[in-house]
Amino acid sequence: MYKEIEVYELMDLMKNKNLNLIDIRSSYKFLLGSIENAKNIPVNDLLLDPSYYLDKDNEYYIFCNYGTTSKRVCQILAKRGYNVININGGYQKISGGSN
C-alpha cells in the first residue's frame, strides 16, 4: 500500500509512536543531517533488494531531499507489496533548510 503524508502529519505521528523512517538519500547527505532515528538506505540499494531491508508486514515512512524520488520509490515498492508512505517535501521541508 502506498500513501503520502505532509511533514506536519509526520511530526505529530513521531510524538506518539516509533516509526520506521527511511532516508533514501546518499550516505553523504545522510551524514550532513537527517531525521532522528531514521535509517539510511540509499535509493539504489533499496530498489536492488528491498526484501533485504524491508518486511512486508511493517509500515515504512520514506523520504529523500524534496519528495520526488521517494514518491517514485514508494510507488515501485507498493507494487511489490510493501506498505510505504512518502513524506511530501522530503528532508528540505522537514529541516527547513537547504542541505
Domain 2-95 has CATH 3.20.20.60: no
pLDDT in tens, 7-58: 989 989 998 888 999 999 999 999 999 998 999 999 999 999 999 999 999 9
Question: For the CA atoms of 49, 27, 59, 3, what is the dihedral angle to 10 degrees?
Answer: -100
Q: pTM for this one?
A: 0.92
**Which residues have C-beta within 8 Å of that of residue 84, sequence separation ≥ 6?**
1, 2, 3, 59, 60, 61, 62, 73, 74, 77, 78
pLDDT value for 17: 83
Q: Could you tell me the three cell numbers for 74? A: 514508494
Identify the band that residue 99 occupies on the pLDDT scale cut at 50, 70 and 90: very low
Q: How far apart are CA 62 and CA 53, in angstroms?
A: 13
pLDDT value for 28: 96
Q: How far apart are CA 12 and CA 54, in angstroms?
A: 24
Domain boundaries, the chain: 2-95
